Amino acid sequence: MYVCICKGITEQDIKNSVVEGAASVRDLYRELALGSQCGKCVSFAQQVLGNELAKCAFYDAAAVA
C-alpha cells in the first residue's frame, strides 16, 4: 500500500528503512524524501513507523528473554 503518493513510497519501503535503522519521520525524510512535497502522508507514515518500531521492540525483547 502506498503511504506517500507524491514520492511513490510504500509501507514496505518504510519497513525496510526501519530494518536499516530509521527511527523517526525525519529519518524517513532523509532516506526516502517522504513528506517532501505535499506533506499529507506524514501522519500515516508516523503510524506505520510506530507499528514497525513496536514490532522491533517486541522481537528484541523476545530475543533477550
Q: Are 3 and 10 within 8 A, CB to CB?
A: yes
SS3 20: coil
Grid cell of 13 as nine digits: 519501503
Binding positions for ligand FES, 13-32, rule CB under 6 A: none
For residue 3, what is the DSSP state? E
Which residue in 12, 24, 37, 43 binds ligand FES (CB under 6 A)? 37
Instruction: Tell whether residue 40 is a contact of ligand FES (CB under 6 A).
Output: yes
Q: Which is nearer to ligand FES, 7 or 15 (CB)?
A: 7
Q: Which residues bind ligand FES (CB under 6 A)?
A: 4-7, 35-41
